[in-house]
């Protein structure tokens, strides 16, 4: 009789065989294939998210001494020597009126023209360096108003003014005061890109400070037909009223004297300064002459007015307010043509006596001193553009008309 295993035993044997086969496959996979965790490098932890501080912001760990900032230190050292300059000039203006008999007459009304600028005290006895165009309005009276950085007010006299260099020397007449002053021996190396600081009174806001960099050197800039060369360009804010003030570096050394800015709708941050290489020799020479340590330079052999006569055949004189009233012309000034030489360039161009010169090139001319100095070197064949006023009488009314005439020097 055959022995048979119970049904329960068969099921147990079958389950045991399947379990052993599963273990064999698992051991084979581990030995022949690396796990995914073994093949890949560990993933770095994610950085913590930056969040804005909540609540009150913590103060700095310690106090910051702002007085040690370079620009703050420069301003503290230089500003006491920077002044505000106010120049004025009374200009007669005429208004046409009718009297009770309906006769036309001209009534004079005085009008005050004003210019503002800055300056730099360069000696303890009150000599001030500034731009010539800042004090141009006061050239006749030779006096301007000065306000120190402390608010103290003085009157200064124009000692000398050089339109070609656009520099002027002033003097405060008060021997009882020792003024804070800037030593012109401290000069900057004037390196491209160096930080510069402009001090002055833009639009009359005294004790103003702006800064930028030295953007370029050896620039040229044209103002009213006069070309200024070898200027420094900067992006520091230089506005009307800054002219004549100092431009310094972070050591407080002189870079130059602020002079002008380029203006236009799409133009920003282009200002110009006269470099110290020009300013310092000019100032030292002017000081030496003013103090009697050096004789004044010789006057030019030919004045601009004489050059107009020799090269163009014109004799001129300044138009006075009384003459303007008699001629019934409404202009602030000019040069009246008193004689035209026969056969001269002026005569050939049809210029006549009684015409009034109000401009040469792009420069406005109200009196003889406004004539460009370039006329003193006028050579034959050189062209000169004159702006003239012609007057034509129609009954009791004088009609005035502006014309431009191009002359060739003989």
Residues marked active site are found at 133, 166, 243
Interatomic CA distance for residues 250 and 209, integer angstroms: 13
Q: How far apart are CA 291 and CA 172, in angstroms?
A: 14
Q: Tell me if residue 136 falls in helix, strand or coil.
A: helix
- Supply the DSSP string of 253-319, one letter for each residue: -EEEEEEEE---TT--S-EEEEEHHHHHHHHHHHHHHHTTSSPPPPPPSS-HHHHIIIII-EEEEEP
3-state SS class at 200: strand
- Residue for token digits 């698992």? 26
Contacts of 349 (CB under 8 A, 6+ apart): 405, 406, 407
Asked if 378 and 311 touch (Cβ cutoff 8 Å), the reply is: yes
DSSP of 243-258: TTSEEEETTS-EEEEE
3-state secondary structure of 27: helix
- d(CA 96, CA 5) in angstroms, rounded, equals 145
Torsion angle, alpha carbons of 27, 30, 32, 35, to 10: 170
* Segment holding 155, helix H or strand E: strand 153-162
Burial 93-110 (b: 16+ CB within 10 A, else e): ebeeeeeeeeeeebeeee
């Amino acid at each position: 009789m055959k022995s048979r295993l119970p049904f329960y035993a068969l099921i147990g044997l079958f389950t045991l065989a399947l379990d052993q086969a599963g273990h064999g496959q698992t051991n084979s996979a581990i030995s022949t294939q690396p796990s995914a965790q073994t093949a890949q490098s560990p993933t770095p932890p994610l950085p913590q998210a930056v969040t804005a501080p909540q609540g009150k912001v913590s103060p700095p760990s310690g106090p910051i001494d702002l007085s040690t900032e370079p620009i703050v230190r420069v301003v503290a050292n230089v500003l006491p020597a920077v002044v505000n300059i106010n120049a004025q000039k009374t200009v007669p203006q005429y208004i046409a009126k009718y009297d009770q008999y309906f006769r036309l007459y001209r009534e004079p009304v005085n009008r005050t023209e004003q210019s503002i600028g800055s300056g730099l005290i360069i000696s303890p006895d009150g000599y001030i360096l500034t731009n010539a165009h800042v004090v141009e309005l006061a050239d006749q009276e030779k006096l301007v108003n000065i306000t120190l950085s402390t608010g103290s007010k003085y009157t200064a006299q124009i000692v000398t003014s050089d339109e070609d260099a656009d520099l002027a020397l002033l003097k405060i007449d008060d021997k009882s005061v020792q003024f804070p002053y800037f030593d012109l021996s401290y000069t900057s190396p004037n390196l491209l890109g160096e930080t510069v600081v402009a001090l002055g009174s833009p639009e009359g806001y005294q004790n103003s400070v702006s800064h930028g960099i030295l953007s370029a050197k050896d620039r040229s800039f044209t103002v009213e037909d006069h070309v200024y060369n070898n200027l420094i360009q900067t992006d520091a804010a230089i506005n009307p009223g800054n002219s004549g003030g100092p431009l310094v570096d972070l050591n407080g050394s002189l870079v130059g004297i602020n002079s002008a800015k380029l203006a236009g709708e799409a133009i920003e941050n282009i200002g110009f300064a006269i470099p110290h290489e020009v300013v310092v020799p000019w100032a030292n020479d002017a000081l030496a002459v003013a103090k009697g340590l050096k004789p004044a330079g010789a006057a030019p052999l030919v004045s601009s007015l004489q050059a107009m006569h020799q090269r163009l055949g014109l004799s001129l004189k300044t138009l006075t307010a009384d003459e303007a009233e008699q001629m019934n012309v409404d202009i602030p000034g000019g040069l009246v043509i008193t004689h035209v030489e026969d056969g001269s360039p002026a005569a050939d161009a049809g210029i006549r006596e009684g015409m009034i010169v109000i401009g040469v090139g792009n420069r406005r001319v109200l009196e003889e001193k406004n004539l460009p100095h370039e006329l003193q070197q006028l050579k034959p064949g050189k062209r000169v553009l004159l702006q003239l006023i012609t007057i034509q009488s129609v009954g009791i009314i004088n009609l005035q008309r502006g014309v431009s005439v191009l002359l060739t020097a003989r």
